[in-house]
Structure 1
Amino acid sequence: MNRCTLLLCAMSLAASCALAQTGPISKNLTTTDGSVVAVRSFPSNALRGTLIVQSPPEVLLDTKADRLSPGARIRGANGMLALSATLVGQTLPVMYTREPNGMLHDVWILTELEAQLIPAKPSYSK
């Protein structure tokens, strides 16, 4: 029936519009030389750290043993999902949030520019 296909098209369009709005949000920061650049913004509860993936889900966060939660999401510097197994042995500047049980849940790998502009302490870390 024609109306069923129209309904499905309308529903898929609405869903794609909703997904498009949940993309990464950026904010403008000023570098030391005065130029303005756009960087990703992170949740207010995100902390700054240095991540080394040892043997997934085992990681070192700021030289302390830690663990990725089941379903943890790691977003690369390009904003796309990265698999933890591809990051083994790399030292990465990151922003991260924890789940209620204390395991790492959301991790964002910072670009070189973000790592320079976003302070490591005290405003983003405990």
Structure 2
Amino acid sequence: MTRCFALASLLLAPSLVLAQAHRPFTADTLRGTLQFGQPPEVRLNGQPQRLSPGSRIQGANGMGAMSGELMGQTHLVHYTLQSDGQIKDVWILNAVERTNALWPVSPAQAAQWRFDVATQTWHRP
């Protein structure tokens, strides 16, 4: 029994580490608060919005998530938009990612700020 527990712990450990790692984001990734409603409806920063038909959601644990599973939940997220304004990709932030407080919340901010890909940090001019 003890060996089974030890083996299970070893198998689970990488997913726990991944859940607390800082995932790489691109300069077009914005931050916001996303409230999940009846798919594909969401509220982004309190405003009605839609997930695109091919949108992808990644949970704080690094695993994929379905929008239907998240109905009624609100999360701090990073997200990207399609050219038509619909939400394309969503990453629910983990504890490590939430500590990086300076992140643009609009395309206008992202256009004015400078993004360092290596450190995953934004700098205001």
Report the TM-score range of the alignment, normalised by the length of the smaller protein: 0.5 to 0.7
Partner in structure 1 of residue 93 of structure 2: 110
Gaps of 5+ in 2: 1-17, 107-125
TM-score, length basis structure 1: 0.65
**Amino acid paired to 2:41:** E
Structure 1 Cα separation of the partners of residues 35 and 25 of structure 2: 20
Take 2:41 and 2:57, find their aligned partners in 1: how far apart are those partners? 14
Following superposition, which runs of at least 4 residues in structure 1 exceed 3 angstroms of deviation? Answer: none
Q: Does 1:99 align with 2:82?
A: yes
2:58 is the alignment partner of 1:78: no
Q: Does 1:64 align with 2:25?
A: no
Contact preservation (8 Å) 2:21, 2:96: no
SS in 2 for 1:113: helix
| Secondary structure of residue in 2 paired with 1:106 | strand
1:21-36 matches, within 5 Å, as none
Identity among equivalent positions (%) equals 47
* RMSD (CA atoms): 1.7
The runs of 5 or more residues in structure 1 that have no matched partner are 1-25, 27-36
Corresponding residue number in structure 1 for 2:105? 125
Query: For 2:60, what is the secondary structure of its paired residue?
Result: coil
More RCO (CA 8 Å, sep 6+): 2
SS in 1 for 2:64: coil
